[in-house]
Amino acid sequence: MLTGTQVRRGSRTALLVVLAAIAALSLAPAARPAPGEFVRLSDERTRTLSAYVLHSVWVRRSPRAAAQKLARLRTATWHGFPEVVVLLGEQTVGRGSWSYIRYPGLGRRRGWVPSRALSSATLHKRRLVLDRDRLRLKLFQGRRLLFNAPVGIGARGSPTPAGRYYVRERLGPFSSANSVYGALAFGLSAFSSHRTDWPGGGQVGIHGTNHPALIPGRISNGCVRLTNAKVLRLGRLLRVGTPLSIR
């Protein structure tokens, strides 16, 4: 689980810099869908769009201001990095546009927010796949395999949760590879129902380790562990917003 407070140092400054850069963008607006038409934006395999949260907003069950509230999105993660979501689709309702998103947390986290609450989109053509049976983590671009490594995953009592997620934040690299997160860590949108009492709510991550001899295996509280050499290599290939399928 991602619980260390040391990664929060300096992250508030990084958040302000990123949000200022996002707000300064002057890109031509994308064509809006016809009224009432749902437009799919991401297949989470060959094409995925991500966006930053520009201001705090409620995620709702349907694209209406009066619809049931599901969760509150904020501009920063618990670690202090800019919050990001995956754009699954878009729909115009009345004079406004709504975005159907995948967002962080426990369970099936999908819902609607006003599109104006989100930044311009970033396109991702790569995807991560975690095979829990074979204890392998792979990174693809189309059918091309870019990365393949053995991993440690959640133990029987705190399994790594299956489902569709994405890379939410990048933590590090750390000055000491002997830290609990090894040389580098990525926070995911996935959370564990077995560790909800942990700081940050039990967020699952991908990170290095100071116990490489335990890999591969079922060894963690839910996080995915790589050797430090492997996680640093992955870090050269991976961006925040990349989709992840855990099988």
Alpha carbons 136 and 153: distance in angstroms, whole number: 9
Average pLDDT of every residue of the chain? 89
In percent, the amount of the chain with pLDDT more than 90 equals 76
Block residue for tokens 């990048």? 170
Q: Do 151 and 119 share a structural domain?
A: no
Domain that holds residue 116: 6-123
Alpha carbons 177 and 190: distance in angstroms, whole number: 24
Q: Do 239 and 135 share a structural domain?
A: yes
Phi and psi at 79, nearest 5°, equal -80, -5
Whether 112 has a pLDDT exceeding 50, the answer reads yes
**According to the model, what pLDDT value does residue 160 have?**
97
Q: Do 236 and 132 share a structural domain?
A: yes
**According to the model, what pLDDT value does residue 107 have?**
87
Q: Do 107 and 130 share a structural domain?
A: no
**pLDDT higher at 208 or 13:** 208
CATH of the domain at 91: 2.30.30.170
Q: Do 226 and 197 share a structural domain?
A: yes
Whether 220 has a pLDDT exceeding 70, the answer reads yes
**Mean pLDDT value across residues 198-214:** 91
CATH of the domain at 237: 2.40.440.10
**According to the model, what pLDDT value does residue 13 have?**
47
**According to the model, what pLDDT value does residue 49 have?**
98
In a domain, 207, yes or no: yes
**According to the model, what pLDDT value does residue 35 have?**
73
CA angle at 15 for the pair 175 and 78, rounded to the nearest 5°: 75
Q: Do 224 and 141 share a structural domain?
A: yes
In a domain, 1, yes or no: no
**According to the model, what pLDDT value does residue 197 have?**
78
**According to the model, what pLDDT value does residue 33 have?**
61
**According to the model, what pLDDT value does residue 178 have?**
80
Q: Do 80 and 131 share a structural domain?
A: no
Q: Summarize pLDDT for 26-42 with one digit per residue, the tens.
A: 333 445 567 778 999 99
Closest listed residue to residue 92, CA positions, set 130, 119, 64? 64
Structural domains in the chain (count) = 2
In a domain, 49, yes or no: yes
pLDDT band at 198 (very low <50, low <70, confident <90, very high): confident
Q: Do 118 and 130 share a structural domain?
A: no
In percent, the amount of the chain with pLDDT more than 70 equals 86
- According to DSSP, residue 126 is labeled E
Whether 25 has a pLDDT exceeding 60, the answer reads no
Whether 10 has a pLDDT exceeding 70, the answer reads no
**Mean pLDDT value across residues 86-104:** 96
**According to the model, what pLDDT value does residue 17 have?**
46
Q: Which of 123, 143, 167 is the last residue of a domain?
A: 123
Q: How far is CA 214 from CA 135, 153, 174, 218, in A?
A: 12, 10, 21, 9
Q: Do 153 and 92 share a structural domain?
A: no
